């Protein structure tokens, strides 16, 4: 399936990929695979997990299909930017 193909391709994104972009695709991936946020927000001292949780929470209203499509589009755009 195309979604899984792009999940694999996302792992090839360069180290220079911004945290903002990585958080966007993380949130979309979680929404597409798990659905709405099902955990409580990590504590203030756990910045990394808190940012990931916030990114997931930000796309909570999307359906799984919508999240998958947005994920594919975002990863595709990021990969094109790298190869440009």
Q: Can you list the alpha helix ranges (DSSP code H) found in 1-84?
A: 2-10, 19-33, 47-58, 64-83
Both tokens assigned to 21? 């972009």
Element (H, E) at 50: helix 47-58
For 8-39, the pLDDT digits (tens) are 999 999 999 999 999 999 999 999 999 999 99
SS3 44: coil
For 40-61, the pLDDT digits (tens) are 999 999 999 999 999 999 999 9
How long a stretch of residues is the chain?
84
Side-chain half-sphere exposure of 7, counting CA atoms within 13 A = 14
């Amino acid at each position: 399936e195309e979604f899984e193909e792009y999940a694999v391709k996302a792992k090839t994104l360069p180290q220079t990929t911004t945290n903002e972009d990585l958080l966007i695709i993380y949130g979309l991936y979680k929404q597409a695979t798990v659905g709405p946020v099902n955990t409580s927000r990590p504590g203030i001292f756990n910045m990394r997990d808190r940012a990931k949780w916030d990114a997931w929470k930000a796309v909570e209203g999307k359906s799984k299909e919508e999240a998958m499509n947005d994920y594919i589009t975002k990863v595709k755009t990021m990969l094109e930017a790298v190869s440009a």
